[in-house]
A and B are shown apart, each in its own frame.
Chain A
Amino acid sequence: MTKALAVDSYLLGDAESVVARVRVGDPAALEILYRAYEAPVFNLARRICRTVEDAEDVLQETFFEVYRSIGQYRGDGPLWGWVRRVASSKALMRLRRNKYRETDELFDEVHAERREDTPLRMDLEAALERLPATSRAVVWLHDVEGYTHEEIAGMMDRTPSFSKSQLSRAHAKLRTWLGEEARA
């Protein structure tokens, strides 16, 4: 059983019937769907977005989009996989809208020297939070959610090489910040 299928059966006992009810506009069914996927959607959004407020907005936008686009879900894959794709797109859209990228680049430039010369030891949560938003999004989507570089590139409107480069740069930074031993 794939991770997405496992999440479906664990969080939503009767996904098919709930989807059918959401399709005809049953608000109670939408709430069942929301309660089932609220935590994983928020978690994904929070790992990608800079602030809690942004993540909460993404959570709200994701379920509104689910309600509007449920007709496009054909049932040929796990429901969680489809909802997760909607959530990822919304979170990445939020990143673009807030122009985090420019801020990240500036942040990187200013702090580059200190980062290299002064290895910091921090926990993984803090290190992940410290990554530039785009790199953090790639790390989360690739390493945790299991998307391929091609899929990430499609969602970010970039190339797979961009995704690969972001991932390796992010791991190099994480290694330093986590105080893991560098090779001689």
Chain B
Amino acid sequence: MTHLTMEQLVALRDAVSEPGSAESQAHLGVCADCSAEFERLHQRVARLRALPTLRPSRDRFPQVAARVRQDRRQLYVRRAGLGALALAASLLLVVVGRDVVTPPTASASDKLTAVMAESATLEQALRQIRDGGQVTDAYTARVATSLEDRIAELDRELEAAQLDASAGRDAGVLPLWRERVGLMDALVDVHLTRASNVGL
């Protein structure tokens, strides 16, 4: 009589029926040796499961916590980098982009009207962001405050310019309005970048 191999005995333990398992099962019923071997296999597995739980000799949580803190710092730096990048990109657009997209033939008055309309659109976008009442982290708050301070300063300059009734007034205030639009654009970007980083 051919005895069952260890592979066949091990396969019999699995719930999944495999080819030949019926024959193996039938053999177990008539072969005392294989039946005893199968029982020993069961006992061995039971003893494996009953082995004591091994425990670490030292506490590794401080290392886990330190790595988590390091990961968070790196994430913070990446976020700050993205925010700064967004700000730089927006300011670059202010400096380089405006004259490129504005038709060179437009008058100073037309240009001023276009820039003021853009400023109004950005005001609207900022109002919506603020109305959302989302929590702002320290970095975003710092950047946003410095941008808002500069916008307020520009507003004072623009107010003073309104009092000027000279013929070249539009051409004079145009750079101020452009800078205002650029800063507001940057402010919107800072808020949106922060929102996308925290998954809002």
Q: How far is the CA of A46 from the CA of B65 in the complex (A)?
A: 22
User: B residues 45-61 with Cβ under 8 Å of A?
Assistant: 45, 47-49, 51, 53-58, 60-61
State the Cβ distance, A4 to closest chain B Cβ, in Å.
14
Comparing B3-11, B19-27, B121-129, the segment that makes contact with chain A is: B3-11
B199 to chain A, nearest CB (A): 10
Once the chains bind, are A168 and B56 in contact (CB under 8 Å)? no
B6: which A residues are within 8 A, CB to CB?
168-169, 171-172, 175
Residue of A nearest to B67 (CB): A64
Q: Tell me whether A64 and B41 are in contact (CB under 8 A).
A: no
In this assembly, does B72 line the interface, its C-beta being within 8 Å of a C-beta of chain A?
yes
Stretch at the interface among A26-34, A72-80, A84-92, A95-103: A26-34
The residue that A60 contacts in the complex, of B40, B47, B63, with Cβ under 8 A, is B63
Main secondary structure, interface of B, reads helix
Q: A30 vs B69: C-alpha distance in the bound complex, in angstroms?
A: 12
CA distance in complex: A97, B187 (Å):
48
Are B33 and A183 touching (Cβ within 8 A)? yes
A143 beta carbon closer than 8 Å to chain B: yes
Instruction: Tell me if A56 and B44 are in contact (CB < 8 A).
Output: no
In the complex, the answer to whether B10 meets A124 with C-beta atoms within 8 Å is no
Interface size class of B (residues with CB under 8 A): 35 or more
Contact B57 A164 (CB under 8 A): no
B148 CB contacts on chain A under 8 angstroms: none
Q: Is the CB of B60 within 8 A of A183?
A: no
Please determine whether A184 and B33 come into contact, CB atoms closer than 8 angstroms: yes
Q: Scoring A residues 162 to 176 as 1 if CB is less than 8 Å from chain B, else 0, what string do you get? A: 001101110110110
CA distance A67 to B75 in the complex (A): 14
Interface residues of A in 54-69 (CB under 8 A from B): 55-56, 59-60, 63-64, 67-68
Residues in B neighbouring A63, C-beta threshold 8 A: 60-61, 64
Check B68 against A42 for contact (C-beta < 8 Å).
no
Q: Check B53 against A25 for contact (C-beta < 8 Å).
A: no
Q: Which residue of A lies closest to B72 (CB)?
A: A25
Q: Judging by beta carbons under 8 Å apart, are A64 and B45 in contact?
A: no
* B44 in contact with A64 (CB, 8 Å): no
CB pair B61–A31 under 8 Å, yes or no, is yes
Quick check: is A137 within 8 A (CB to CB) of the other chain?
Answer: no
With beta carbons under 8 angstroms apart, the residue of A52, A164, A175 that contacts B40 is A175
Closest to A184 in B: B33
- Complex: A67 Cα to B67 Cα, angstroms: 10
Q: Does A128 contact B (CB under 8 A)?
A: yes
CB <8 Å contact, B10 and A60: no
Q: For A31, give the chain B residue with the smallest CB separation.
A: B61
| A144 adjacent to B5 (CB under 8 Å) | no
Inter-subunit contact B60/A124 (CB<8 Å): no
Assess the A56–B7 pair: CB atoms within 8 A: no
Expressed in whole angstroms, the minimum distance between the Cβ of A32 and any Cβ of chain B is 11
Q: Does chain B have a CB within 8 A of A157?
A: no
Task: Give the B-binding residues of A (Cβ under 8 A).
Answer: 25, 27, 30-31, 34-35, 38-40, 42-43, 46-47, 52, 55-56, 59-60, 63-64, 67-68, 124-125, 128, 139-140, 143-144, 148-149, 164-165, 167-169, 171-172, 174-175, 178, 180, 183-184
Given contact pairs A171-B44, A183-B34, enumerate 6 new A-B contacts (beta carbons under 8 Å). A30-B64, A34-B64, A56-B60, A59-B56, A63-B61, A172-B6
Binding site for A on B (CB under 8 A): 3, 5-7, 9-11, 14, 16, 33-34, 36-37, 40-41, 44-45, 47-49, 51, 53-58, 60-61, 63-65, 67-68, 71-72
